[in-house]
Amino acid sequence: MSETRFTDQHEWVRVDGDIATVGITRFAAGQLGDVVFVELPDIGRKVGQGGEIAVVESVKAASEVYAPIGGEVSEANTALTDEPAKINSDPEGEGWFFKLRVGDKAELAKLMTEEQYAEFVKNQ
């Protein structure tokens, strides 16, 4: 099982080989409330670590989603277009946003572990 890492913008990333799956955290989904729309990145789009890559809108707010690590989009979770509520029901599972072909795995070291993230959200 691959390790999950987290950003201070409440994205998560799980790397398996050279593919990274990215989504927003349970904490972020809870803060947003009911998600009603998601704008996913195009396949082939390149993004640097921290770059804006997607948008999620809820009944409360619209938020940018940032790339936890850099790479090239290899897949988008198009199921979210028809069923954005998956982001609320399973944000760190079926509610993933996109997959990236990883540019530099060393960027993962700049992200928080699960324990560090849990501590981080205690202070939010």
Where residue 52 sits, what CATH number does that domain have?
2.40.50.100
Tokens standing for residue 73: 């989009």
109 in any annotated domain: no
- 54: in domain: yes
| C-beta atoms surrounding 36 within 10 Å | 15
The pLDDT tens digits for 12-64 are 999 999 999 999 999 999 999 999 999 999 999 999 999 999 999 999 889 99
Q: Which two tokens stand for residue 56?
A: 């999620």
In a domain, 64, yes or no: yes
Say how many domains are in the chain. 1
User: From residue 37, how far is each of 79, 80, 92, 103 by CA, in Å?
Assistant: 12, 8, 17, 28
Q: Give a yes or no: residue 115 inside a domain.
A: no
Query: What is the residue whose two structure tokens read 């990215």?
Result: 22
90 pLDDT exceeds 70? yes
Q: Is the pTM of this model over 0.85?
A: yes
119 part of a folded domain: no
| Domain assignment of residue 82, yes or no | yes
Q: Is 49 within the bounds of a domain? A: yes
- Residue span of the structural domain in which 87 resides: 4-103
Q: Please list, in sequence order, all residues whose beta carbon lies within 8 angstroms of the beta carbon of residue 107, skipping any fewer than 6 positions away.
A: 49, 68, 69, 70
